[in-house]
Copies of this chain bind each other. A is one copy, B any other.
Amino acid sequence: MKLSQYYIPTLREAPRDAENVSAQLMMRSGMVRKVASGLYSFLPLGMRVLKNVEEIIREEMNGIGALEVWLPHIQPKELWEETGRWGVYGKELLRIKDRKNSEFCFAPTAEEVITDLVRKDVKSYRQLPITLYQFGAKFRDEIRPRFGVMRAREFYMKDAYSFHADETDASNYYEKAFEAYGKIFKKCGLKFWPVQAESGAIGGSFSHEFMVLAETGEDEIVSCSNGCGYAANRERAAVEYGREVKSEDLCLRCKEKGKESPLRFSRGIEVGHTFKLGAKYSQAMQATYLDDAGKSHPFVMGCYGIGVSRVVAAAIEQSYDANGIIWPREIAPFQVILVPINFEEPKTKEWSLEIERELTQRGVSVLLDDRSERAGVKFKDADLIGAPIRVTIGEKGIQNGTVEVKERAGETVIHVRKEEILTHLIERI
For chain A, give the interface size range: 35 or more
Question: Hey, which chain B residues are within 8 Å of A203, CB to CB?
Answer: none
A143 within 8 A of B: yes
A156 within 8 A of B: yes
Chain B residue at minimal CB-CB distance from A32: B70
- New A-B pairs, 20, CB < 8 Å, besides A36-B76, A47-B67: A7-B67, A7-B127, A7-B130, A9-B121, A33-B117, A33-B120, A35-B71, A35-B79, A35-B113, A35-B117, A39-B72, A39-B74, A39-B75, A39-B76, A40-B72, A47-B68, A72-B137, A74-B139, A94-B98, A96-B96
Give the contacts of A132-180 with B (CB-CB under 8 A).
Answer: 132, 136-137, 139, 141, 143, 153-154, 156
Query: Once the chains are docked, how many angstroms separate the CA of A79 from the CA of B104?
Result: 24
Give A47-87 as 1s and 0s: 1 = Cβ < 8 Å from B's Cβ atoms: 10011000000000000010111111111101100000000
Number of copies of this kind of chain in the complex: 2
Query: Once the chains are docked, how many angstroms separate the CA of A117 from the CA of B113?
Result: 33
Contact B71 A41 (CB under 8 A): yes
7 closest A-B pairs by CB:
A9-B121, A44-B67, A42-B70, A91-B99, A39-B72, A36-B76, A72-B154
Contact B68 A35 (CB under 8 A): no
Contact B98 A141 (CB under 8 A): yes
Which listed residue (B46, B67, B74, B75) contacts A6, Cβ 8 A?
Answer: B67
Question: Hey, which chain B residues are within 8 Å of A7, CB to CB?
Answer: 67, 127, 130, 132
Give A89-116 as 1s and 0s: 1 = Cβ < 8 Å from B's Cβ atoms: 0011010101100101010000001001
Q: How far is the CB of A248 from chain B (nearest CB, A)?
A: 29
A252 within 8 A of B: no
Contact A74 B153 (CB under 8 A): yes
A359 within 8 A of B: no
Query: Once the chains are docked, how many angstroms separate the CA of A118 from the CA of B51?
Result: 22
A/B interface sample: 20 pairs, CB < 8 A? A5-B65, A6-B67, A9-B122, A33-B121, A35-B72, A35-B79, A36-B78, A36-B104, A42-B70, A43-B69, A44-B68, A46-B70, A70-B156, A73-B106, A73-B137, A92-B99, A94-B98, A98-B141, A99-B141, A136-B137
Question: Hey, which chain B residues are within 8 Å of A75, CB to CB?
Answer: 35, 39
Query: Once the chains are docked, how many angstroms separate the CA of A388 from the CA of B6?
Result: 39
Question: Hey, which chain B residues are within 8 Å of A9, CB to CB?
Answer: 121-122
Which listed residue (B44, B73, B121) contacts A132, Cβ 8 A?
Answer: B44
Query: Once the chains are docked, how many angstroms separate the CA of A79 from the CA of B69?
Result: 32
Question: Hey, which chain B residues are within 8 Å of A143, CB to CB?
Answer: 99
Q: How far is the CB of A347 from chain B (nearest CB, A)?
A: 25
Query: Once the chains are docked, how many angstroms separate the CA of A36 from the CA of B360?
Result: 46
Chain B residue at minimal CB-CB distance from A122: B9
